[in-house]
Each structure stands twice: as structure tokens, then as C-alpha cells.
């Protein structure tokens, strides 16, 4: 019998984000500017987002480095455990091995903090002092609030 829970050591926290864009059979259509209906470019996004995030958004590189400051905070709760769903495999009567990732160890209880940390980091690096966001059920808002606190932003 193999383990049901897999927890990687901190030394295996990723050093890079994986970008799926280079793997797509054809490029995605560009997002359109809501006013002009023309493809949006970096200059259109610059008033809203830090240049580092814009570069990530338009990058066609397969790997994007995660800054050490962000990785250091990831160590507080990552890597999150991976669980094997044995009962689900049995119910489906499948030879496949099914796993799910549990984000209950994140301070905000979801994966959203992983992205919020990078966004807070990039904004701080460009001199932003405070971030605000709209949120629905509250997970994104709590993730961004936590990320801002951890990055020293309001």
C-alpha cells in the first residue's frame, strides 16, 4: 500500500511558475480594450498593473522565476499536501490514481494567496503603498489583505 498523503519538503518549493502559453497549439486571441475594442497592449495595462505583472501576462517563456521574497513567504504554508482519493478511485472502479491538493494549510484557506503574494510583491517593488480590491465571497479579498500584510502594504 502506498501513502495517502504526500507532503514535499520546503526545499521542493518551486523556483519558477510554469506558463502554459508556449504549449498551446495556437496563440490565444489578445484581450480587447473595452473602449476601442482593439487588442490591449502593455501601455493600456500600465495604469492598473505593475510592469512585472504585465511582463508575466504577455510572456511566451515557459518558465517565469518566482522572486526569493515571495518564495520565503510561501515557506510559511507551502508546499501544501497532496492526497490520494482512494475511495473515489474505488467508486469509479478505475485503474487511474486520483489525487487532490489541499489548501487548508494556507492562512486564508485557499490557493488564492499564491497569486496575491506575487501581485503584492510586484506592486511593492514599483512603489505602491496600498492595494484595494473587489471581492465576491471574500476569499480573494482576504488573500490580498493577507498578502499586503506579509509584504508590508496597506
Complete domains list, the chain, with CATH: 8-151 (3.40.50)
Query: Mind listing the pLDDT tens digit of every residue in the chain (154 residues)?
Result: 678 898 889 888 999 999 999 999 999 998 999 999 999 988 999 999 999 999 998 899 999 999 999 999 999 998 889 999 999 999 999 999 999 999 888 899 889 999 999 999 999 999 999 999 998 888 999 999 999 999 999 9
Q: Whole-prediction pTM value?
A: 0.84
All 3 cell numbers of residue 15? 523556483
The phi and psi torsions of 100 (rounded to 5 degrees) equal -135, 150
Query: How do 82-84 and 16-18 pair as beta strands?
Result: unpaired
Amino acid at each position: 500500500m502506498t501513502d495517502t498523503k504526500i507532503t514535499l519538503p520546503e526545499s521542493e518549493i518551486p523556483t519558477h511558475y510554469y506558463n502554459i502559453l508556449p504549449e498551446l497549439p495556437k496563440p490565444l486571441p489578445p484581450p480587447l480594450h473595452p473602449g476601442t475594442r482593439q487588442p490591449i497592449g502593455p501601455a493600456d495595462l500600465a495604469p492598473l498593473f505593475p510592469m512585472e505583472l504585465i511582463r508575466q501576462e504577455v510572456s511566451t517563456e515557459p518558465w517565469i522565476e518566482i522572486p526569493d521574497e515571495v518564495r520565503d513567504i510561501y515557506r510559511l504554508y507551502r508546499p501544501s499536501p497532496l492526497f490520494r482519493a482512494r475511495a473515489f478511485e474505488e467508486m469509479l472502479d478505475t485503474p487511474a490514481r486520483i489525487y487532490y491538493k489541499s489548501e487548508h494549510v494556507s492562512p486564508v484557506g485557499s490557493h488564492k494567496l499564491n497569486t496575491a503574494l506575487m501581485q503584492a510583491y510586484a506592486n511593492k517593488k514599483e512603489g505602491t503603498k496600498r492595494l484595494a480590491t473587489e471581492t465576491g465571497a471574500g476569499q480573494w479579498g482576504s488573500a490580498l489583505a493577507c498578502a499586503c500584510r506579509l509584504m508590508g502594504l496597506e
